[in-house]
Structure 1
C-alpha cells in the first residue's frame, strides 16, 4: 500500500484540531463516521491521559484511529478509551493478554513489572537528549527485545514514544544536590525499577498509581514525585508542588502495545496498516511531548513553580549513585544481554561509531 504520508499527516493535524475545538466524544465521533462498517472488527485502545487533543497520547490515538479506519476501508473500528476508563495499568496489561482490550499506549513502569527487560530504557541518566532516545527506540536492539517480550507475555511491541523527560518535584525544598533528596517521601510509579532508583538517592519511595497521584500530593501522603512536564501539566501537579529540579534523570517512554491474539486474528494487510499507523503517529506523540520538555523551565515557572537547574558535576553524582544500583537490580531480574546491550548502544551513539 502506497501512502502519501505528508498529506495524511497534514489532514490528521486538521482533524485533531477540529476535535479539540468541538469537544467531540468517542461515541459522537464513531456514530458520525459512516466509513466504519457495521460488522467491523473492534479495536479497543486504552490509555491514561485525559481525553483532550492537547494531550500527546490522545492526539496520537485520534490520529491512529483516523489512519487505521481509512486505510482498512472501515474494516477495523478503533474505539479510544482515555483517562483510565477501562481500568488501571495492571488491569489493562492483563486484559491485553486475554484480548479483551486490544491495544494500549502505556507508560514504562507497569510494563517492566510484566517484562523486566523493558526497564533497561529507564537506567538513570542514560540518554543525553531525545535524539539518542529515539534512535534506540527505533533500533534493532528494541525490535529484538520486543520479540522476546511477545514470546514471553503474548503482548506485541509496535513502537515507542516519549512520556517526558523526568524531573524531581516536591513541596518541601529546592533540590540542588543528591544530599537534598534524603528524608523526602517521594511517589514512584508502579514498578520496582523506580523504587530502586529512588532508594539509591536516599529518598523514601512510595508506590502510587497515576490516577491517585494528585490527591496523594494534595493530602500530603508524599512530599513529591518525579515526572515530565507533560504529565505535570496534565494532572495540574504544580498546584501542590512548589519546587521542580530539572535533572532529566530518565527519558521516560510510552509503549504502543497490541494483544498478540488480536494481531494474529488480522489479515496481513490489516497488520501492516496497524504497524504503519503506529510508525506515523508516534512522531506526533514524540513531537508534542518533546516540545514541552525543551521548554520545561519556562512552562513550569509560568505555573508558579520554583525551577532549579543543577550542574553537570551534580548530575554526575546522581548518575554514580543511581545508575549502578538500578543496573544491579536489572541484572538480577533480566538477562544481562539486555543491560549490556543498551549500554553498548549508548556507548556507540555517544562515541559516534
Structure 2
C-alpha cells in the first residue's frame, strides 16, 4: 500500500507540473470502469500511468482519468477509441470480442495452467500478432493485456461441483456470443448483460448468477446477492490497454516511448494486484459470506470436456482456424520449454 500511496503522490505531483503548461498540453482522456480507489487494480494502474507519463513528458501530455464507466460502457469506449473522442481505454475482453472478433480466441476455456503461462503467451509472438491485426482492422492500438481475473461462477441457488449442477441456472455473461456458448455448453441458460447493469440484474433476480474474477466480484460488490462461488477458473480473462492509433502516431517519438514504458508499469501493477486476489480467492470470498467450492483436477476435467470443444467450434465458425491454431501452437510451445 505504501508503494501505491507513492504512486498517487507522484501522480499528483505530475498533475501540478503539467498545470503550468496545460494550455499547450496534449489531452489524453483515459477511461476505465472500476471504482476510483487504490484497491481497484485498474485505478491504481491508471494513477501510476498518469504520474509516469506526465513526469516523462514534462507535462506535454495531460492524462485525464475517467473511472467508473464515466465515459460509457465497454462498447461505447471502444467506439470512442475508434473515433478518437477517447484517446486511451482499458476495456475487458467481452466488448473487445464484439468489436474485433479474433479477440474471442482468448475465451477458449480451461486452456492456461496458470498466470505465468498466460502472461508468457499474450506477451509473446502470439499476442503481438493478434494486436497488430486488431490495429490494422480497427484503428485501435493494443499495448498490453492485464488480468481481469481468472473467471469463476457465482450464483444464489446452490453449490456447483459438476456440470449437472449448472442445469436450470440463469447466468449473466458478457455481451459477446462466445460467452453465451460457454455457459450453454455447461447446461445453464445465458443472459448477456452489460457490466454497469450487472449488480442490478443480480439484485432483482433477472439472473441467478454470473462469472467473473475475484477482483470484479469484490470491486463491484457482486457477492451481495450471491451465496455460492465455484473456483473452476474456466477462462483467464483480460483487460486490454488500448489507444486510438492516430493519436499515438501524432505524438513525438519520445512521447510514444514514454507511453509504451508507462504502460509496462501500469500493466505490472494491475497484474500483480489481480493475481494476488486470485491466489487468495478462498479466503477473500469466504470473508464476504460466499460458500466456496473448489474443484479437483478430475472435476475440472468434466467441465473442460463439455466446454472446450463447444466453444472452439463456435470460435472457428466465427473467425476460422487461424487464430485458434496459433494459440494452440503457442500453448504447445510453452509446455515444451
TM-score tier (shorter) = over 0.9
* TM-fit CA distance, 1:54: 1.2
Give the whole-Å Cα distance in 1 for the aligned partners of 2:294 and 2:219. Answer: 22
Of 185, 189, 199, 1:204 maps to 189
Give the whole-Å Cα distance in 2 for the aligned partners of 1:34 and 1:68. Answer: 14
Give the whole-Å Cα distance in 2 for the aligned partners of 1:30 and 1:266. Answer: 19
CA-based RMSD of the aligned residues comes to 1.9
Give the whole-Å Cα distance in 2 for the aligned partners of 1:192 and 1:60. Answer: 29
Task: Give the equivalent residue in structure 1 for 2:299.
Answer: 314
Q: Secondary structure at the match of 1:38?
A: helix
Q: Secondary structure at the match of 1:304?
A: coil
Give the whole-Å Cα distance in 1 for the aligned partners of 2:9 and 2:78. Answer: 31
* TM-fit CA distance, 1:16: 3.6
* Conserved 8 A contact 1:12-1:63: no
* TM-fit CA distance, 1:324: 1.1
1:240-251 → structure 2 map (5 Å cutoff):
240-251=225-236
Task: Give the equivalent residue in structure 2 for 1:73.
Answer: 58
1:29-178 → structure 2 map (5 Å cutoff):
30=15, 34=19, 37-178=22-163
Give the whole-Å Cα distance in 2 for the aligned partners of 1:239 and 1:143. Answer: 39
Greater alpha carbon shift after TM alignment, 116-125 vs 42-51: 116-125
Q: Secondary structure at the match of 2:218?
A: helix
Give the whole-Å Cα distance in 1 for the aligned partners of 2:295 and 2:126. Answer: 32
Q: Secondary structure at the match of 2:316?
A: helix
Task: Give the equivalent residue in structure 2 for 1:237.
Answer: 222
In the alignment, structure 2 segments of 5+ residues that lack a partner are none
Q: Secondary structure at the match of 1:222?
A: coil
Query: When the two structures are superposed, what TM-score results if normalisation uses the length of structure 2?
Result: 0.96
Give the whole-Å Cα distance in 1 for the aligned partners of 2:24 and 2:321. Answer: 47
Give the whole-Å Cα distance in 1 for the aligned partners of 2:57 and 2:251. Answer: 11
Give the whole-Å Cα distance in 2 for the aligned partners of 1:129 and 1:35. Answer: 46
* TM-fit CA distance, 1:118: 0.9
Give the whole-Å Cα distance in 2 for the aligned partners of 1:67 and 1:303. Answer: 35
* TM-fit CA distance, 1:11: 9.4
Number of residue pairs matched by the alignment: 337
Of 267, 279, 288, 1:303 maps to 288
Of 308, 332, 335, 1:347 maps to 332
Give the whole-Å Cα distance in 2 for the aligned partners of 1:174 and 1:52. Answer: 32
Q: Secondary structure at the match of 1:166?
A: strand
Task: Give the equivalent residue in structure 1 for 2:213.
Answer: 228
* Conserved 8 A contact 1:36-1:73: no
Q: 1:321 to 1:71 in 2, by over 3 A?
A: same
* Conserved 8 A contact 2:159-2:229: yes
* TM-fit CA distance, 1:253: 0.6
Give the whole-Å Cα distance in 2 for the aligned partners of 1:53 and 1:104. Answer: 18
Give the whole-Å Cα distance in 1 for the aligned partners of 2:307 and 2:332. Answer: 18
* TM-fit CA distance, 1:128: 1.0
* TM-fit CA distance, 1:34: 3.8
* TM-fit CA distance, 1:351: 3.1
Give the whole-Å Cα distance in 1 for the aligned partners of 2:293 and 2:228. Answer: 8
Q: Secondary structure at the match of 2:34?
A: coil
1:185-204 → structure 2 map (5 Å cutoff):
185-204=170-189
Give the whole-Å Cα distance in 1 for the aligned partners of 2:201 and 2:19. Answer: 44
Give the whole-Å Cα distance in 1 for the aligned partners of 2:230 and 2:4. Answer: 33
Q: 1:317 to 1:279 in 2, by over 3 A?
A: same
Give the whole-Å Cα distance in 2 for the aligned partners of 1:146 and 1:260. Answer: 12
* TM-fit CA distance, 1:190: 1.0
Q: Secondary structure at the match of 1:186?
A: strand
Of 233, 257, 263, 1:272 maps to 257
* Conserved 8 A contact 1:157-1:255: yes
* Conserved 8 A contact 1:35-1:73: no
